[in-house]
């Protein structure tokens, strides 16, 4: 068969690595020397494997350049002498390491995005306040809620269809929730236009749509992922860490007249992707799948059993691995809006290979620059 074009990797740079952005982080050149905060522990090595018996402290109140999950994950690798230290001491130690090994130019990009988001949160008045905190019974269909709350493989599988291996579809969202989110996004985009702000788009491939976290929905969507997607991913995607998802990138995309028409063949920057159609009236726009491949073979031909076109239905979700190759057929009429939740987990070993100071953790191989840092 002939593929629909080369599979693209969505890339928004280092912002993703440290601030829950929407891309894959490239490895910067390795630096020498040691952060000043590491001096007291220069005779000890960070653990290569996490101390799973240690309970990391809560860093959700820490504001700055790095996502709280980075600190929680990195704490498991601290030298033994630091594990029982005060939180402030551990935090300073980790921040010194991170700041030394993350280029200033990339930090500046994240800071600009942070300021952009804070300005929006300060000025934007939501249309539907009830969307900004989790109300499960109002958001989800009863069948979906019951399956997840029962939390067994059998209960979850009972609402799922698996048309091809690794791709699951199921009814998920209440029609009212779909309508409210649709209206909220439209309200936000109208407000951005009136304020003459430049809206940040979800990724490098979609020219229309919005990042939901940018205007206040981050907390609700984090609950969405942790309580309702992680239990499913734990059952169906254990090999990509489906049970340990700890960060997300949430956005909507828009297809139709005067919008994006189609989406090229690509893979997502996620471990697990949730894609839910919000509506409204449209034709076309099928999501086509072409199997899972490694980075080296991402554009190889698909086998017949891997080929599947998924027709969008408002309120229905499709769940798949981020590395499952896919694209969107042209939306031939009407307007289609979809909610996308890219669910991710931190790969601490890759992170440590990037940011550990000399002498604390040896690099695993001389060709480390060819490796990719898993997105955070």
In Å, what is the CA distance from 74 to each residue of 46, 140, 287, 324? 9, 34, 37, 29
Beta-bridge mates of residue 276: 317, 339
Specify whether the CB–CB gap between 19 and 62 falls below 8 A.
Answer: no
Q: Are residues 158 and 83 in the same domain?
A: no
Q: Are residues 94 and 180 in the same domain?
A: no
Asked, for residue 257, whether it belongs to a domain, the answer is yes
Question: Which of the residue ranges 43-52, 173-182, 291-300 would you say has the lowest mean pLDDT?
Answer: 43-52
Average pLDDT over residues 320-345: 94
Q: Which two tokens stand for residue 253?
A: 């995309």
Question: Which of the residue ranges 39-43, 45-49, 63-67, 163-167 would you say has the lowest mean pLDDT?
Answer: 39-43
Residue 108 has pLDDT above 90, yes or no: no
Residue 186, helix vs strand vs coil:
helix
Dist CA 192 CA 194 (whole Å): 5
pLDDT number for residue 198 = 84
Asked, for residue 145, whether it belongs to a domain, the answer is yes
Dist CA 6 CA 298 (whole Å): 8
Asked, for residue 12, whether it belongs to a domain, the answer is no
pLDDT, tens digit, for every residue of 351-373? 554 444 433 433 333 232 222 32
pLDDT number for residue 6 = 56
Q: Are residues 98 and 109 in the same domain?
A: no
Asked, for residue 34, whether it belongs to a domain, the answer is no
Domain count, the chain: 2
Task: Map tokens 């500046």 to a residue.
Answer: 108
Q: Are residues 54 and 121 in the same domain?
A: no
> Domain range holding 118?
105-354
Asked, for residue 362, whether it belongs to a domain, the answer is no
Q: Are residues 211 and 287 in the same domain?
A: yes
CATH number at residue 331: 2.60.120.620
Asked, for residue 11, whether it belongs to a domain, the answer is no
Output the pTM of the full model: 0.73
Q: Are residues 50 and 98 in the same domain?
A: yes
Q: Are residues 88 and 65 in the same domain?
A: yes
Dist CA 358 CA 264 (whole Å): 42
Identify which has the larger pLDDT, 204 or 284: 284
Instruction: Please say which residue of 102, 127, 146 terminates a domain.
Output: 102
Residue 375 has pLDDT above 50, yes or no: no
Q: Which two tokens stand for residue 286?
A: 């099928």
Q: Are residues 92 and 125 in the same domain?
A: no
Q: Are residues 63 and 182 in the same domain?
A: no
Q: Are residues 198 and 91 in the same domain?
A: no
Asked, for residue 26, whether it belongs to a domain, the answer is no
Give the pLDDT band of residue 90 (cuts 50, 70, 90): very high
pLDDT number for residue 101 = 66
pLDDT, tens digit, for every residue of 181-202? 999 999 999 999 999 988 888 8
Q: Are residues 134 and 94 in the same domain?
A: no
Asked, for residue 71, whether it belongs to a domain, the answer is yes
Q: Are residues 82 and 193 in the same domain?
A: no
Instruction: Please say which residue of 102, 120, 149 terminates a domain.
Output: 102
């Amino acid at each position: 068969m002939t593929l629909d074009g080369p599979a693209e990797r969505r890339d928004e740079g280092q912002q993703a690595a440290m601030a829950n952005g929407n891309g894959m982080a490239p490895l910067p050149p390795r630096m020498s020397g040691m952060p000043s905060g590491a001096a007291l522990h220069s005779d000890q090595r960070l653990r290569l494997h996490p101390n799973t018996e240690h309970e990391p402290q809560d860093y959700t109140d820490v504001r700055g350049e790095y996502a709280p999950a980075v600190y929680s994950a990195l704490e498991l690798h601290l030298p033994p002498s630091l594990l029982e230290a005060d939180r402030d001491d551990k935090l300073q130690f980790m921040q010194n390491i991170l700041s030394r090994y993350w280029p200033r130019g990339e930090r500046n990009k994240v800071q600009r995005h942070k300021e952009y988001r804070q300005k929006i949160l300060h000025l934007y008045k939501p249309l539907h306040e009830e969307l900004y905190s989790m109300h499960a019974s109002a958001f989800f269909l009863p069948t979906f809620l019951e399956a997840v709350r029962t939390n067994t493989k059998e209960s979850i599988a009972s609402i799922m269809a698996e048309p091809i291996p690794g791709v699951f579809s199921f009814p998920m969202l209440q029609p009212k929730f779909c309508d409210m989110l649709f209206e909220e996004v439209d309200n936000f985009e109208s407000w951005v236009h009136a304020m003459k702000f430049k809206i940040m788009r979800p990724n490098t491939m979609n020219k229309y749509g919005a990042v939901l976290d940018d205007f206040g929905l981050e907390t609700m969507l984090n609950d969405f992922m942790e309580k309702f997607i992680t239990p499913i991913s734990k059952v169906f995607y254990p090999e990509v860490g489906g049970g340990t998802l700890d960060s997300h990138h949430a956005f909507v995309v828009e297809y139709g007249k005067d919008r994006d028409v189609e989406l090229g063949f690509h893979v997502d920057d996620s471990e697990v992707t949730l894609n839910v159609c919000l509506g409204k009236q449209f034709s076309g726009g099928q999501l086509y799948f072409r199997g899972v491949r490694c980075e080296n073979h991402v554009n190889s031909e698909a086998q017949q059993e891997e080929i599947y076109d998924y027709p969008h239905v408002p309120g229905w979700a499709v769940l798949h691995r981020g590395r499952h190759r896919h694209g969107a057929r042209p939306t031939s009429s009407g307007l289609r809006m979809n909610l996308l939740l890219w669910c991710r987990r931190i790969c601490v070993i890759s992170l440590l290979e990037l940011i550990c100071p000399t002498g604390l953790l040896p690099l695993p191989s001389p060709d480390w620059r060819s490796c990719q840092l898993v997105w955070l």
